[in-house]
Amino acid sequence: MKHLERALQGKNGIGRYILMAVIVMVVAQIAAIPLFLIMLPAILSNGGNISDLSAAIQNPSDYGISSNLFLLVMLVTFAITYFLFAVLVKPLHGRTVRETINGRKQIRWDRIRMGIIVWGIIILADTAISLLVSSPGEYEFRFNAGAFLPLLLILLLVMPFQTSIEELLFRGYLAQGVARWTKSRWWALIIPSVLFALMHLANPEVKEYGFWLSMPQYLIMGLMLGLISILDDGIELALGIHFINNALTALLVTHEASALQTDALFLLHDLDPVASLISISVASILVILILQRIYKWDFGIMNRKVAAVPPPPPPVEVETIGQSPAT
């Protein structure tokens, strides 16, 4: 095991984590200035004021702002945060982005592809069932090639930075830190997952459908991503799953309370939050079972203490009769 154990080496005092968090939050706010500069003139020109900012962020098209432009500028803030983290993690902690991903020198790209494929199939199947069987009357098809193709390009080129920095921070960086402080894989799963869910507290879905129906979905997603990262000894699968989840969400279906207001193929008029909670729960269990079968994970590893693996003992020289010992 290398991923969580990597934080047992290098500079990993809690003060360094606090410093990283402060720097990242400050720079993320600065990086959001271009988004504010785009939103404010559009709000004022439509007779609004600065208090309408949250409403404009939720529905940028109501203020004459292209959803693609809004998405691009929003994702650029995550890209800036990603590069900032990549620059800071080495001097602050003595490890690289790759070592934050899996404790190794190389990224397992096949794992990222597998996460994309398996979760992508599950999401497509779930969407198809909802569209064709459970609630077909709630979907409005609205394909617009002029908006959809730029959306696809934005998702392919810029969205990986958004999903990657979230995985690096929660399933990589923070999980490694918790593992160092507690020596427990369970705490390295639970604490980052709870914080990951709380990070989405301001999302419009929470306001629309309530805390107890919306937040469990983020928590379940965080626990699933965290569990497979610990079992697989790296976050590559989580990187693939998180990317394809957000990309397909933006491309396939949006709804009025969605955090991703895009020119998706379908507009869902009435989201059932209970059905959504059941769906994400079943999908999370299913992906864990499929990946466990592929990679033969041992769930017992969760009860194993996070500890440095001792180096192998040096070879013992066998002295041959009649020969002088080496000098």
80: which 2 tokens? 């800036």
Q: What pLDDT, on a 0 to 100 scale, did the predictor assign at position 327?
A: 45
Q: What pLDDT, on a 0 to 100 scale, did the predictor assign at position 88?
A: 95
67: which 2 tokens? 């959803």
Q: What pLDDT, on a 0 to 100 scale, did the predictor assign at position 47?
A: 74
- According to DSSP, the residues that pair with 253 across neighbouring strands are 266
First to last CA, the chain: 38
Separation CA 204–CA 271 (nearest Å): 13
Q: What pLDDT, on a 0 to 100 scale, did the predictor assign at position 322?
A: 53
Q: What pLDDT, on a 0 to 100 scale, did the predictor assign at position 42?
A: 79
Q: What pLDDT, on a 0 to 100 scale, did the predictor assign at position 58?
A: 74
Q: What pLDDT, on a 0 to 100 scale, did the predictor assign at position 99?
A: 95
Q: What pLDDT, on a 0 to 100 scale, did the predictor assign at position 290?
A: 98
Q: What pLDDT, on a 0 to 100 scale, did the predictor assign at position 13?
A: 87
Which residues of the chain have a pLDDT value below 50? 324-325, 327
Separation CA 5–CA 180 (nearest Å): 7
Q: What pLDDT, on a 0 to 100 scale, did the predictor assign at position 171?
A: 97
- Residue where the block lists tokens 């979230």: 166
